[in-house]
Amino acid sequence: MNKAQLASEIAKKTKLSKAKSWEALNATVDAIKGSLKKGQKVSLVGFGSFLVKNRKARTGRNPKTGETIQIKARKVPAFSAGAEFKNLLK
């Protein structure tokens, strides 16, 4: 399912217009991004949590040349599924 299909599904289930469902979906995604940018965790009970994880600096390898390179530490987005969501998929 892509974003357009998700917006259509939201429109069907909520009886909102497609335009309003797009607005709601975009607002939700923007709110999650904004919170993660501030370093905050976003928890959706029954679904899961979006959070920022810190990756340590490490040594890697250039696949073309085989040369060893240093990869900088950085922050990456992560999702942790909640128990209810995990059980749904069993």
pLDDT at position 64: 93
Q: Confidence class of residue 71 from pLDDT cuts 50, 70 and 90?
A: very high
Mean pLDDT computed over 65-69: 94
CB 85 within 8 A of CB 50: no
Please say whether the structural domain 41-90 has been given the CATH code 1.20.1740.10. Answer: no
Q: What is the pTM of this model?
A: 0.81
User: What's the rounded mean pLDDT across residues 46-74?
Assistant: 95
% of the chain with per-residue pLDDT over 90? 98
Q: For the segment 4-38, what is each residue's pLDDT rounded down to a tens digit? A: 999 999 999 999 999 999 999 999 999 999 999 99
pLDDT above 90 for 90:
no
Instruction: Choose among 53, 48, 46: nearest CA to 84.
Output: 46
